[in-house]
Amino acid sequence: MSAAPTAVGILAGGGPLPARVAEAAHAAGRPVFIIGFEGFADPATLAPWPHECVRLGAAGRMLSLLRAHACSDLVLIGPIRRPSLRSLYPDAEGARILARLGKALFAGDDGLLAALVRILGEEGFQVRGAHEFLSHSVAEAGVLGQLRPDEQALADIKHGVIVAQALGRLDIGQGCVVQNGVVLAVEAMEGTDAMLARSGACRQPGDGGVLVKLLKPGQEKRADMPTIGPITLQNAHAAGLRGIAFEAGNTLLTDRAACVAEAEKLGLFLIAIDPAEIQSVE
């Protein structure tokens, strides 16, 4: 007899993607157990699956639950706000892990997430990227839907790629908004939606701008891949943008069909790009 498949543990922040990973793992014949981070994960989203909600600092409780449910693979998915040390109130295991994180606690998100992935590996878990389960949520290069960027929009995308990659190398954020060659806003810890709101306030006369969202150079994508959903399209439209360009193969669409439908309804283009190739487009 073959051994029963080990479970996939999902460490869940907000949004719909934790449940999508659970659905994909279940369809592949893997048992699933979700740990929802209190204050971030949506209880209704987790309700159909075996789960427990745990506060961020209770690492001992998390590890015990993952081991009790025979989890071998872990997926970190869904947004959380980076907490202050004072707000964590770590348990004994949490304090031990914080000590092991060391200087990474005070580094940017990339350094912290990379250190966390390493420590989970040392604890005996295999950290997997959400994209490994959600291949249908990752787009190849090309236009999604009927609307295409024109010459000015392509020029703004090219400029946005340069800006977003510079931001990423400094571990600041994953995106920016460019309108007619002018950078209206860049993303930092406030996230994409807040950046889009700021860009709307800075909109210039003329054709609307574009949102460019990329994986940071060298980023640990098993923990924080760029994500776009229908709400992103709605906020881009509210900010007066013409469309969204995102990195092909390295961006998760929370619901691909819904994103395309929303883009069509709002009159926005949606394009997956290879940052290296877009720079060569004349």
Note the pTM of the prediction, 2 decimals. Answer: 0.85
**205 contact partners, CB below 8 Å, separation of at least 6:** none
Tokens of 223: 């923990």
pLDDT tens, N- to C-terminus, the chain (282 residues)? 456 678 999 988 888 999 999 999 999 999 999 999 888 899 999 999 999 998 878 888 888 999 999 999 999 888 877 665 566 677 787 787 777 777 655 665 555 666 777 788 888 899 998 999 998 899 999 999 999 999 999 999 999 999 999 999 998 889 999 999 999 999 988 889 999 999 999 999 999 999 999 999 888 777 778 999 999 999 999 999 999 999 999 999 999 999 999 999 999 999 999 998 886 554
Cα atoms found within 13 Å of the Cα of residue 87, Cβ hemisphere only: 8
What's the DSSP call for residue 182?
Answer: E
**Whole-angstrom distance, CA of residue 63 vs CA of residue 8:** 13
Retrieve residue 214's tokens. Answer: 């990329």
The dihedral built from the CA positions of residue 169, 175, 180 and 182, taken in this order, carries a sign that is negative
pLDDT at 2: 53
pLDDT at 182: 96
Q: How much is the pLDDT for 251?
A: 94
Which stretches does DSSP call E strand in the chain?
7-12, 32-37, 51-54, 71-77, 126-128, 142-143, 175-179, 182-186, 210-213, 227-228, 243-247, 252-253, 269-273
Say if residues 41 and 18 touch (Cβ distance below 8 Å): yes
Q: How far apart are CA 184 and CA 177, in angstroms?
A: 6
Is 163 within 8 Å of 195 (Cβ atoms)?
no
Structure tokens at 272: 């997956």
Cα gap 262→15, rounded to integer Å: 18
Is residue 174 within 8 Å of 163, Cβ to Cβ?
no
Q: Could you give phi then psi for residue 70, rounded to 5 degrees? A: 55, 40
pLDDT at 220: 75
Contact 187, 199 (CB under 8 A): no
